[in-house]
Structure 1
Amino acid sequence: MLMLTSVLTTGALALTACGSRDDTGAGDGSSGDTTLTIGVDAPLSGENSATGLGIRGGVKIAVDDANEKKLVPGVKFELKALDDKAQPATGQQNATALVGDKSVVGVVGPLNSGVARSMQQVFASANLVQISPSNTDPELTQGKNWQSGDKKRPYATYFRTATTDVIQGGFAADYAFNTLKKKKVYVVDDKQAYGAGLAKIFREDFQEAGGTVVGTDSINTGDKDFAALITKIEDAEPDLVYYGGQYDESQLITKQLKEAGAKIPLFGGDGMFSPTYIETAGATAEGDLATSVGVPVDTLPAARTFIETYQAKGYKGDYGTYGGYSYDAASAIINAVKAVKEANDGKLPSGDDLREQVVEAVGKSDFEGITGKVSFDEYGDTGNKQLTVYQVEQGTWEAVKTGTHNG
């Protein structure tokens, strides 16, 4: 997840600013002989929508940049964004719709790992490349038996620019035990593919490091009242609560936990890492922690231009989570189209041949994106394994440690 520390400090993440806005249309570059579409699937309304809108905005800027700079001569790129509402069934319907649009050469998304599971087969059957900027479930790229070491890539059309929970969960567990010196943790998850998977990896790695898990529980997405959970946590007397899930629920859990008098920090993954979390939890978020993929934005000069553009356009959504990774995912698709065109004597293959060759070209990606080096391994996983721990300090997420972890 791309962290926008300098922007958060100024409070500029209230992205409902006035001004000219074009959230869903095509880029403004010169018209070419051929129009190709970059699809986006993300929650654009309801649960997780602030993050989903940030994904759409990141792709929109990449599309506009490609058109303005004429990165692929003779080609104009357009954006087609569909709302999955964080629901697997809706995501599958969207995947079918995107496959059916013959102008679509690649798709960025979805946000949620559970939604991705419902879409992978649809895209694979049509040889349509899919790059998620946020999915972290290891099973999506390494198969159901990845934990036993039997890694098999399920779908050659699926890639991601975010690193996996194997690395993120272990990184968090190591930080909690060895740096924070926490010995007793209570682990909670939201029963979803992402949240439950991340919580499981954290729990196992924390115990392996020597820590004690004093209790576990699960909640449902959409829950608002966590009184029963908080009572269980208080009775277990942990010195840390780890949560696997999104900010929608965790921001309420920490608020209700602290208001009940339990001064226990909440630690979560990139799904919790959002300015919305702090805005909702208020002062009760102080001291809470989250891991995120990548390094802080102040070490990535290219990301500053992206931030400035996003703000100037007035796009909605939280671009501080996956906006940069969405931009790089879209760029990988655009660069692949360019490579295919050049390899075919300046002509684009037709129909299914184009999609198939774009998949192959994406797999060979090797360029500097705004979040760092963009490349993929034999499973479709990102080559960028850097992570950062952030902590809420005086109302903003501040980076406290950047590194990697051998999952």
Structure 2
Amino acid sequence: MSAKKIWLFALLAGCISSLILTPLSVQAADPIKIGSVLRLSAGAEDGLPAKRGVELAVAEINKAGGINGRQIEVIFEDEKDSPTNAVNAVQKLINVDKVVAIIGPMTSGATLAAAPTANEAKMVMISPTATSPKVSGAGVFIYRGCSRIDKQAEALTDYVAKNYKPKTVGVLYSNEPYGKGCNDLFSKFFEKAGIKVVATESFMRGAKDFKAQLTNIKAAKPDILFIPGYYQETAPAASQARQLGMKQRIIGVYGDISPVYIELAGKAAEGHLVAGEHDPDYNTPKNKKFVESYQALVKSIPNEPNNVMFAALTYDMMNLVAEGIKKYGPTSEGIQKYLTEVQDHDGVTGQLCFNREHDVMKGEVSLFEVKKGKYVKVK
């Protein structure tokens, strides 16, 4: 055989060997893909912190060598506060990106809309923040990482009734699905706790002047003031209530939990009471490290919204998915098996497990009050 033929034979043999071996070697090094559907445009003040929580968890996992030598890759999609868009995003993550689990969506409407798609595909989908009771038992593969809104309402109204002993409440709510839902639900629990709703007013998202509504509520002389909505409006509303001479304690909801609420409301924030999911002072090594890492990240990004609670929720959910992969492999069925059996997972939002309806369990609903310019856990 001539030298030229020997060279050609060797080249062909090398190419064939490469064709045979490369897919296997690439497959071994391929990242494990996780999907995440979050509020990255509409509602980004909550969605971006949630994205940072996922990113922090993944960065820690990958820095430690990944899972069985494979890195985690997260594919983010924008929920856009649209159930239809959320369904399309979940379908893409399942069918195109071939993810093994999905963190999100965040809103209840989007979660409920996408649940049938995820269930049919046997895809684990964990919403970090969907609070609707309807999410409970939404499917074998559907999980929730936060407390239900009715549990929050019950805990908050019971605490208010026992500790402040008001007889009446005035309500100023955001006239969109979240605010309206909170008004309806919390009003029922206020009445159940013996606190009569004596005035109800509403405002639109983007509103800046609340004095007309507050004046009407002031005339009813309520003992406390309930303002459910998002901090962009609820904080200025609280400040304007004080300007009108209203001295009632102000009660709020999830949408208020942010350092920005305290900044915008100023002195009016003092005494503000809300239900929440994460205590920055939760005294565990894991939580201390997480809070330090998150705050350092926020400071490094210009104009980054700061909301450690939303970051903490997604950080925990991402780590639960990773633990499932470590134990049972990178399949949705394996992750689902792990989530069903996990007990006392060491999370930054508590010791976590899930009940039969796949709602997270971590003890009683936590309540936080603004004291000296900081949210402090009071229950």
- Report the CA distance between 1:135 and its aligned residue: 1.7
Deviations 1:105-148 (A, max 9, x none): 1121233223322322232232221112222111111xxxxxxx
- Aligned residue for 1:240? 224
Distance of 2:353 and 2:135 partners within structure 1: 17
2:277–2:309: 8 Å Cα contact kept in structure 1? Answer: no
- Report the CA distance between 1:219 and its aligned residue: 3.4
Distance of 2:131 and 2:154 partners within structure 1: 13
- Report the CA distance between 1:192 and its aligned residue: 4.7
- Aligned residue for 2:31? 35
2:278–2:309: 8 Å Cα contact kept in structure 1? Answer: no
Would the alpha carbon gap of residues 112 and 224 (structure 1) be closer, same or farther in structure 2, given more than 3 Å must change? farther
1:114–1:192: 8 Å Cα contact kept in structure 2? Answer: no
Stretches of structure 2 that go unaligned for 5 or more consecutive residues are: 1-26
Overall identity of the aligned pairs, in %: 28
- Report the CA distance between 1:170 and its aligned residue: 0.7
- Report the CA distance between 1:193 and its aligned residue: 4.8
Deviations 1:232-274 (A, max 9, x none): 2112211211133322321222122222332233211222111
- Report the CA distance between 1:303 and its aligned residue: 0.8
Would the alpha carbon gap of residues 294 and 58 (structure 1) be closer, same or farther in structure 2, given more than 3 Å must change? closer
| Structure 1 counterpart SS, 2:135 | helix
1:234–1:262: 8 Å Cα contact kept in structure 2? Answer: yes
- Report the CA distance between 1:191 and its aligned residue: 4.8
Picking from 316, 326, 340, the partner of 1:328 is 316
1:35–1:103: 8 Å Cα contact kept in structure 2? Answer: no
| Structure 2 counterpart SS, 1:360 | helix
Picking from 97, 104, 107, the partner of 2:99 is 104
| Structure 2 counterpart SS, 1:40 | strand
- Report the CA distance between 1:190 and its aligned residue: 3.0
Would the alpha carbon gap of residues 298 and 356 (structure 1) be closer, same or farther in structure 2, given more than 3 Å must change? closer
Instruction: State whether structure 2 residue 258 is matched by structure 1 residue 274.
Output: yes
1:40–1:82: 8 Å Cα contact kept in structure 2? Answer: yes
Deviations 1:12-61 (A, max 9, x none): xxxxxxxxxxxxxxxxxxx9623122222222234x32221111111111
- Report the CA distance between 1:295 and its aligned residue: 4.5
State the Cα RMSD in Å: 2.3
With CA pairs under 8 Å and 6+ residues apart, which has the higher RCO, 1 or 2? 1
- Aligned residue for 1:139? 134
Give the letter for the 1:200 counterpart: D
Instruction: State whether structure 2 residue 193 is matched by structure 1 residue 215.
Output: no
- Aligned residue for 1:382? 360
Deviations 1:72-110 (A, max 9, x none): 203210122222233333323322322233331112123
Q: TM-score, normalized by length of structure 2?
A: 0.84
Q: How many aligned positions are there?
A: 348
Picking from 237, 240, 264, the partner of 2:248 is 264
Deviations 1:314-343 (A, max 9, x none): 3533242221121110111111122222xx
Give the letter for the 1:393 counterpart: K
Max radius of gyration: which structure?
2
- Aligned residue for 2:174? 190
| Structure 2 counterpart SS, 1:186 | strand
- Report the CA distance between 1:200 and its aligned residue: 3.2
Stretches of structure 1 that go unaligned for 5 or more consecutive residues are: 1-30, 142-152, 342-347, 349-353, 403-407
